[in-house]
Structure 1
Amino acid sequence: MNKIVDAKGKNCPIPVIMAKKEIDGGNNNFLVEVDNKIAVQNLQKLANSQEFISSVEEDNGVFKVYFSKDSDSDNKLEECEECNQILEKIEGNKRGIDTWSVFIGKEIIGGGSEDLGKTLMQMYFYTISESDKLPKSILFMNAGVKVPTLNEQAIENLKVLEEKGVDILVCGTCLNFYGIEKELKVGKVSNMYDITNAMKEALKVITL
């Protein structure tokens, strides 16, 4: 019988971390119970990233996310993670993508005038989009999630960056907190786990 991981009532990224512990412990068949759709989406992303098969069942507001792994996958040759990282950097450099990330935790740049701060944010992303060296990722949390949802001019520049291969990750918990989850116009809904990993993979993180 599959092990049941009870993550009901727990906010992001706790369900993802609980599932990752099962994977790291060698458990190839288990299910995680959660009670919100954001957690379901993040768990499915985790399953996909770890080469697990996932499926979802809903029962009275409780979502059961099943994790399973084909036994044949154990026979795959072990990949060298360090080699993969090097190859990823080489490929990124070919596309003009550098190994740095930008973390946005506010709707504006700096303090003082809010209008000026929003304008500076627009100018910042325009300047980056015109640069030869692009960040590997742009990460939005807290009030920063208002930029890819409400700042129309910044959104246009972010779309250009996304088309050029820059990962744009937006905190789902933060979107829900501000009630703007349906307003996201660029990037993908993410979680603390993925955003933290993006920071770890970057050689440097610039915080605005």
Structure 2
Amino acid sequence: MHKTLDARQLACPGPVLQVKEALEAGPVKTMEVVVDNEAARENVSRFLQSRGFTVEASMRGEDLIVAAHRAEAARQDIPLDAGERGSSPVSSAARKIMVVVAADAMGRGDHALGTKLLINYVKTLKEMGPDLWRLVFINGGVTLTVTGSPVLDELRAYERSGVVILACGTCLEHFGLTADKQVGQTTNMLDIVTAMQLADSVITIG
């Protein structure tokens, strides 16, 4: 079955939820999803890939078109947390700690001091070892994932070690930073909520 979805003008995670509902309604072999921003394109593409689809993106006028095709043998029941984010070398005995960075500074008071504290905090997260499972950046925290961030080297090292780094697509769009993201995956609220359910503990900064 082929489905065409118009996900334009939907706030995050609306486009992904629309695709999810369409897949849950019945078998789909091919799908075309129309979106109107880069964050939605990346989120929808990654979600469809996690469900076994091959995805191609193109432009049609001012719209972004996500065209997806799934082989007959592909599974439809891959969980949200699998596939789309890759496997991690983290031991099964390790705890799953999710750290949410929700601001560009740590604590209240002097902003310059808070910025230094947050930079030091991110750099020190390596002391969690294999327990560090997800690093999620929302609101002003997404500025740490873009060009010029003082912790890009550390974040890339975390990613290489198997830590999944997620940056809120709506937040990147809000600050005009979508094209400047240098590390991690653009994500949506559905991914974040799902990760919170799977985590053993969630630490929020900001």
Which residue of 198, 201, 205 corresponds with 2:202? 205
**Residue 128 of structure 1: aligned partner:** 125
User: Would you say the 8 A contact 2:40–2:169 is kept in 1?
Assistant: no
Contact 1:31 1:64 in 2 (8 A): yes
Instruction: Give the Cα–Cα distance (whole angstroms) in 2 for the partners of residues 8 and 122 of structure 1.
Output: 36
Alignment partner of 1:148 is 2:145? yes
Which residue does the alignment assign to 1:93? 91
TM-score by length of 1: 0.82
**Distance apart, 1:33 and its partner CA:** 1.7
Alignment of 1:58 onto 2:71: no
Deviation at 1:40, TM superposition (A): 1.7
**1:12 corresponds to:** 12
Q: Which deviates further from its counterpart, 183-192 or 134-143?
A: 183-192
Q: Distance in 1 between matches of 2:129 and 2:59?
A: 47
**Gapped regions of structure 1 (runs ≥ 5):** none
1:7: how far off? 1.2
1:167 corresponds to = 164
The answer to whether the 8 Å contact 2:100/2:135 transfers is: yes
Structure 2's unaligned 5+ residue stretches are none
TM-score by length of 2: 0.82
In structure 2, relative to structure 1, the CA distance for the partners of 1:166 and 1:59 (3 Å cut) is same
User: Contact conserved, 1:100 with 1:202, CA < 8 A, in 2?
Assistant: yes
Residue aligned with 1:169, SS: strand
| Closer/same/farther in 2, CA of residues 2 and 205 from structure 1, 3 Å limit | same
- 2:70 is matched by which residue type in structure 1? K
Amino acid at match of 1:9: Q
Task: Give, in whole Å, the separation in 2 of the partners of 1:196 and 1:68.
Answer: 27
Select the structure that is richer in helix.
1
Q: Distance in 2 between matches of 1:69 and 1:152?
A: 38
1:74-113 alignment, distance < 5 Å: 91-93=89-91, 98-113=95-110
> Residues 27 and 195 from structure 1, CA distance in 2 versus in 1: closer, same or farther, beyond 3 angstroms?
same
In 2, Cα distance between equivalents of 1:185 and 1:167: 14
C-alpha offsets along residues 60-111 of structure 1, whole Å, 9 cap, x if unaligned? 222332333222336x9x88x7xx8xxx9995227x9631100111111111
Q: 2:70 maps to what in 1?
A: 69
The equivalences for 1:181-200 within 5 A come to: 181-200=178-197
Question: Which residue type is aligned with residue 160 of structure 2?
Answer: E
Distance in 1 separating the partners of 2:72 and 2:182: 40
**Conserved 8 A contact 2:98-2:196:** yes
